[in-house]
């Protein structure tokens, strides 16, 4: 993405001829990157959250709140799967003119990330039931 944006800036301001595909391709790649990184954030636990309330609770209520948060996250993942499949299906026949690829391919990471988020949430809940935590892969 960085190289594409650098080329776009160079072409626009130095060559005075901005390529029509560069912005669309950068956005395309950003959607894929952000959504798959969000799923990884659920797995690794580095997504944004505020834990002041949960940290102030005793062990049992804290575990219940954490489990509830995981269930809500899993529900969001399932929502992404269901609505993402519908959106991809509705937009697959529409091309992104500058890239000549289906618009649905740019939205494909929505259901993919939803599946990953749901699976990672299940992993957290299973480990929580076993009294363990998910070991981070990015340590």
**7 close to 22: Cβ distance less than 8 angstroms:** yes
Separation between Cα atoms, residue 137 and residue 48, nearest integer Å = 18
Q: Which tens digit of pLDDT belongs to each residue from 3-26?
A: 999 999 999 999 988 888 988 999
Q: Which tens digit of pLDDT belongs to each residue from 82-114?
A: 999 999 999 999 999 999 999 999 999 999 999
Q: Which tens digit of pLDDT belongs to each residue from 54-91?
A: 778 788 888 898 899 899 999 999 999 999 999 999 99
Q: Whole-structure pTM over 0.75, yes or no?
A: yes
């Amino acid at each position: 993405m960085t190289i594409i944006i650098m080329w776009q800036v160079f072409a626009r301001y130095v060559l005075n001829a901005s390529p029509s595909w560069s912005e669309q391709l950068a956005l395309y790649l950003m959607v894929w990157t952000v959504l798959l990184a969000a799923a990884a954030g659920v797995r690794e636990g580095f997504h944004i959250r505020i834990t002041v309330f949960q940290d102030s609770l005793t062990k049992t209520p804290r575990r219940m709140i954490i489990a509830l948060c995981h269930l809500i996250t899993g529900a969001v993942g399932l929502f992404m799967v269901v609505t993402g499949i519908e959106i991809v299906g509705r937009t697959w026949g529409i091309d992104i003119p500058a890239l000549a690829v289906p618009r649905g391919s740019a939205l494909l990471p929505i259901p993919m990330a939803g599946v990953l988020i749901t699976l990672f949430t299940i992993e957290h809940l299973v480990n929580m039931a076993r009294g363990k935590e998910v070991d981070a892969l990015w340590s």
